[in-house]
Amino acid sequence: MSVEGWNTVLVLGGIRSGKSEFAESLVADAPTVRYVATAAAADPEDTEWATRLAAHRARRPGSWTTEETADDPRRLADVLASAGPNETMLVDDLGGWVTVLLDPAHQPADDVATITELADAVRASEARIVLVSPEVGLSLVPTTPLGRAFADALGAANRAVADACDAVALVVAGQPVWLKPSAPVPPVDVPARAVPVDGVDGVAPAAATLPADGPLPEVLTPTVPPAPPTATGTTWTTSTMALPVIATGLVIQPGMELPMPDEYAGPQAVQRLGTLDLPGAGLGVLERVVEFAAATQGTSTPTPWTDVRVLLLHGDHTGGVAAGAPVGESTRLARQARAGRGTLARLAAENGAGLQVVDAPPAAPIEHGPALDADTVESALRYGWRLAEEAAEAGVRLLVLGACGAGAEAAAAAVLVATAGAEAPTVLGRVHTADGEIDDAAWMVRCATIRDALHRTRRSPRGAKDILAELGGGDVAVACGVLLGATARRVPVLLDGPVGLAAGMVARDLAGQARHWCLLVDHGGHPAVRLAADVLGLTPLLDLRLDLGEGANALAALPLLRSVLALAGSLPVHPYHGGPDDEPTDTTPTDTTPTGDAATAPADGDVAATTAPTAPAPGLARTDLPADSDAAPAAAGAGADDVTPEFAEPTPAGPGPTTTAPADAGPEPDPSGRRAG
C-alpha cells in the first residue's frame, strides 16, 4: 500500500482523469489482490463500453482475482466486511455501483440505508481496501430527473465512504492530490532506547516511541578543538523536493520516484578541471569528488561542503549476531559521543560538523524470529526520513552516516547475503576482542547465526521491508529512511561502513535514485562493504583501510575532500586555455648594469647572488666564506695569475648602449674562452 498508517483509501476523479491507474498503483506491491467489479454487463451492441472494460481487464496482473457484484449491489458491503486482515481489495468503481443501485430492477429500495451499510462495512473491515469513484458536483446540475438522482446518490455515497476511509485522494489530469488526512501520521509505539540493567553496564530494550511529530534527538556541536572557519560558497542552485511522506501520508514503498542528481553538471565539472591551472596530472581519482559534488549541487563549479551533520545510529542486536561484542560497549560509545568525547566527536569538531546521536529500536535474535515487527519497520523508516528532512530544513548540505550498535556488522552482513546472494563467510568481517585479538569462535557463531536466519526465512518474501523486518533491525531501517529522505531533499550522504551500505542495498529496492546521492570514501578493508559497493556501483575513493568506527573514517577523510573542492572552485583557467597570464606586461628594457663596488655581478654561472660582495684585493683570500666551502678561493700564497678570482671587478661601462642579461642567466662568456678577470 502507498498510504502510511491507514488501511482504507478512496480515490476520486473525473472521467479519464487516471483515477483507476492511480488506484491500481497503490496496491501494486500486494502479492494478491481481489478486484471487485461493480459495473453491470455491457450491452453487446455497445462496442465502445466493451472496449473500456477490456482495457481494465488487460491491466490486471495474473495474480489478481476478480469478483463481480453487479447482480446485487447490497452484496458489496458483505464482501468488504468478510475480508480478512491479510487481504487487499480494489473496488472499481462506486459510480457503477450506484448505477446498479438505482436500476429499476433493484427498486424499491432504501438507497440511503444501502449507502450507510457500505460505509459501515468499509469502516469495520480489517482488509486493505482501495475504492475508486467518479467525483460529481463540479459541473451543472443535470437537467433530467434520472441524472439528478444519480448525482445525488453518488455524491451521498462519496461523502459517506470518504468519512469512513482513512485517506482520500483526488486525481486531476493524472496528478493525485491528497485531501485526507489533514493531520500527520499518528505515533507508533516501538522500543527505541537501550538502558542499563540493574546497574550493570549491559543493555536491555525499553519501551519507547519513534514519534511522527515529536522532538528529534539533539544535534550536538563538539567544540574541542574549536571548529575551523568555513569558507562561504555559492547558494545551492537546485531546489529541494517536496516531502510526500510526511505531508500527505504516503508510505515509503517500492518504486518511489525521487529526484536524480544533475546529469549534466558532473561531466561539465570534470571537463572544466581539464582547463584549470593544475600542475602535473591534476586530481587523479579525486576528480570523482568534484563530479559527485557538482551533480548533487547542480552546478559545474561546486563549493566545499560547509554544513555537515553526522548521524550516529545506536541500535543493538541481540542473539548470535552480537557474539564477541563487549557488553555495554555500544552504550558507552553513544554516551561518549553525547558528551562530546571520543574519536567521532573529536573528528566532528575538527570538521565543524554537528553530531546527532539517534537511538534506533533494538533487534530481536534473527535466528529465532524476525528482528522487528512490520509496524516498527514502518515507524523506523519514517523516523529516518524525518531526520533527513529536519537536517535539510536546518541547512545541512552533507550527511555522514555512522553506527555503533552491538552486532550491527553481522546484521548488515545478513542483509547483504539476502539481497546480493552472497555467502556469510565471505562478507562477515573479523571479530576482535577488547584487547585487539582475533576471536575466531565468535566469528563462527555469527556465521552460524546468519545461516540459521536465512534457513528460517527461505520461504519468506524478499521485499525491502521484509528483509528489514526479518534480518536488518532498527539501525538499518532508520539508516534506510535517512537515505530516502536525503534523496528526496537532494542532500548527499557519505557512507562509511556495513550498516550504511546495507541500508543502501535496501534503499535501492525502494527507490533506485538513492544510490546516486551516496559517496563511499573508504572501504576500510571490510568484505561486506566491498561487495555492497560493487553491487551499488560505489567505487571507494581511497584505500586507507581505516577502522576508527563507522562514521569516523569518513570524517577523517573529509578535509581532503573539501580541499579538492576548494581547488576546483578557486583555481584560474590555464593560460593555454585562455586564462590570465602571470607574466609582466611591461617589456621595456631597463639598464641594470652594476655601477658600484657593492653590486658586482658573479663571474661564474654556478654562483648567484642578489647582492654581490666586494671583490677581495689580488692575492688575498676571502674571509666571508667558511674555510671548508667549495667556493672559498685557495689563493693563499698564490699569485693573481695562478688563481681565477671568484668575484671579478666590475667592468666600467663604456660609451654606447649596455645590454642587460636576463635575470635567470649567468654572465655572458668571453669569446676568447677565458673568464673575465
Q: How far apart are CA 234 and CA 577, in angstroms?
A: 24
Looking up cell 536466519, which residue turns up?
453
Q: Give the phi and the psi of residue 356 in degrees, each rounded to 5.
A: -125, 115
Q: Can you read off the three cell numbers belonging to residue 36?
A: 471487485
DSSP 482: H
Q: Can you read off the three cell numbers belonging to residue 629?
A: 666551502
Per-residue pLDDT at 55: 75
E strands of 482-541, at which residues? 493-495, 518-520
Q: How far apart are CA 601 and CA 592, in angstroms?
A: 11
Q: What pLDDT, in 10s, does the model give residues 81-131?
A: 888 888 889 998 898 888 888 877 766 667 788 899 999 999 988 888 999
Q: How far apart are CA 229 and CA 231, in angstroms?
A: 7
Return all residues near 157 (Cβ < 8 A) that are at least 6 apart: 94, 97, 98, 115, 118, 133
**Is the N-terminal amide bond of 108 cis, ω within 30° of 0?**
yes
The residues assigned a catalytic role are: 550
Q: Interhelix angle for 440-456 vs 408-420, to 10°?
A: 40
Q: Among 611, 493, 608, which Cα is nearest to 551's?
A: 493
Per-residue pLDDT at 103: 79
Q: Among 310, 392, 402, which Cα is nearest to 351's?
A: 310
DSSP string, 172-204: ETTEEEEEE--S-PPP-EEEEEEEEETTEEEEE
Helix, strand, coil shares of the chain, percent, nearest 5, are 35, 15, 50
E strands of 14-50, at which residues? 34-37
Per-residue pLDDT at 43: 66
Q: How far apart are CA 582 and CA 541, in angstroms?
A: 34
Per-residue pLDDT at 665: 45
Per-residue pLDDT at 589: 52
Per-residue pLDDT at 141: 78
Given a contact cutoff of 8 angstroms between Cβ atoms, the answer to whether 246 and 385 are in contact is yes
Q: What pLDDT, in 10s, does the model give residues 3-22?
A: 445 689 999 998 888 898 88
Q: Among 656, 610, 640, which Cα is nearest to 601's?
A: 610
Q: How far apart are CA 517 and CA 89, in angstroms?
A: 36
Per-residue pLDDT at 637: 44
**What amino acid occupies position 228?**
P
Q: Can you read off the three cell numbers belonging to residue 610?
A: 642578489
**Is the N-terminal amide bond of 498 cis, ω within 30° of 0?**
no
- Sign of the CA dihedral with 567 first, then 569, 571, and 574 last: positive
Given a contact cutoff of 8 angstroms between Cβ atoms, the answer to whether 412 and 505 are in contact is no
Q: Which helix (H) or strand (E) holds 90?
A: strand 88-92
**Is the N-terminal amide bond of 205 cis, ω within 30° of 0?**
no
Q: How far apart are CA 352 and CA 228, in angstroms?
A: 6
Low-confidence ranges of the chain (pLDDT < 70): 1-6, 41-44, 49, 106-109, 182-214, 221-251, 280-281, 577-677
Q: Can you read off the three cell numbers belonging to residue 47?
A: 462496442
Q: Interhelix angle for 552-570 vs 342-350, to 10°?
A: 10
Return all residues near 243 (Cβ < 8 A) that are at least 6 apart: 385, 389, 485, 488, 489
Q: How far apart are CA 140 and CA 411, in angstroms?
A: 61
Q: How far apart are CA 195 and CA 193, in angstroms?
A: 6
DSSP 106: G
E strands of 381-538, at which residues? 398-403, 493-495, 518-520
Q: Can you read off the three cell numbers belonging to residue 434?
A: 577488547
Per-residue pLDDT at 383: 92
